[in-house]
A = this chain, B = another copy of it.
């Protein structure tokens, strides 16, 4: 895949065999275009060519449902220590945004097993994973994770689902000593049920929320942006040991 960024930061994700891109800013010929090139549309507008990075895929690929934002994905990665070679279990798959961000850090020696029960989500996710080149790392399991986790010696169990507490006993079995459980839940009641389920068997249980605030640094002056995201979800972390 190639990424083109045109006027106003508009992104276009293209298959390598594509030879022409039609946009509201004119037609761009792609023959032989490679990263670092600056192409002009037939109306003279500029398009930069580059290799897409993970966030370009998550921005441009089709969505099955609302996705976990980067502020939360980053917090999950840093607080579970997700990294090269990790085996991660993930549910539900949705558009595979979380699975792909995780695959991007576990790399070719790692594995991401993502569980999904809705066929149409799995379809979209499968297409996205293939386009983003993660099909060797991510495996979609058409299974209700509340009925069990098939993997062993798992480093992280990452859950974005309404009732993550149902998965706690399975996660306990699947995780390595020192491995992490994470649940992404919008409601306080969900944090309570999850913490309750974890409290017997897991340690270092911690519920946090992450707020991202943008600063506008402009010639006219510097100030926080007027509007911000007030809430996405709470993150419940726990460790097995």
Q: Does A50 contact B (CB under 8 A)?
A: yes
Q: Which B residues are CB-close (under 8 A) to A49?
A: 177
Output the least CB separation between A70 and chain B (Å).
4
A216 nearest in chain B by CB position: B207
Interface-centre pick from A187, A204, A216, A224 (highest chain B CB count, 10 A): A224
Q: Per-residue CB proximity of A49-78 to B under 8 Å, as 1/0? A: 111111110000000000000110111111
Which of the residues B70, B105, B222 comes within 8 Å of A75, measured between beta carbons? B70
Output the least CB separation between A224 and chain B (Å).
4
Residues of chain A in range 91-105 having any CB-CB distance to chain B below 8 Å? 101, 104-105
Q: Is the CB of A229 within 8 A of B227?
A: yes
Q: Is the CB of B104 within 8 A of A107?
A: no
Q: Give complex CA distance A110, B70 in Å.
A: 22
Q: Is the CB of A5 within 8 A of B105?
A: no
Q: Is the CB of B70 within 8 A of A78?
A: yes
Q: Which B residues are CB-close (under 8 A) to A105?
A: 77, 82-84, 104-105
Stretch at the interface among A116-124, A142-150, A163-171, A190-198: A190-198
Q: Per-residue CB proximity of A176-207 to B under 8 Å, as 1/0? A: 11101000001111111001000000011111
Q: Which B residues are CB-close (under 8 A) to A130?
A: none
Q: Which B residues are CB-close (under 8 A) to A26?
A: none
Residues of A within 8 A of B (CB): 3, 5, 9, 35-36, 48-56, 70-71, 73-85, 101, 104-110, 155, 176-178, 180, 186-192, 195, 203-217, 220-232, 234, 236, 241
Additional A-B contacts beyond A75-B212, A83-B105, A85-B107 (12; CB < 8 A): A48-B241, A50-B178, A51-B178, A71-B210, A74-B78, A81-B104, A189-B222, A191-B215, A192-B222, A208-B214, A208-B215, A210-B212
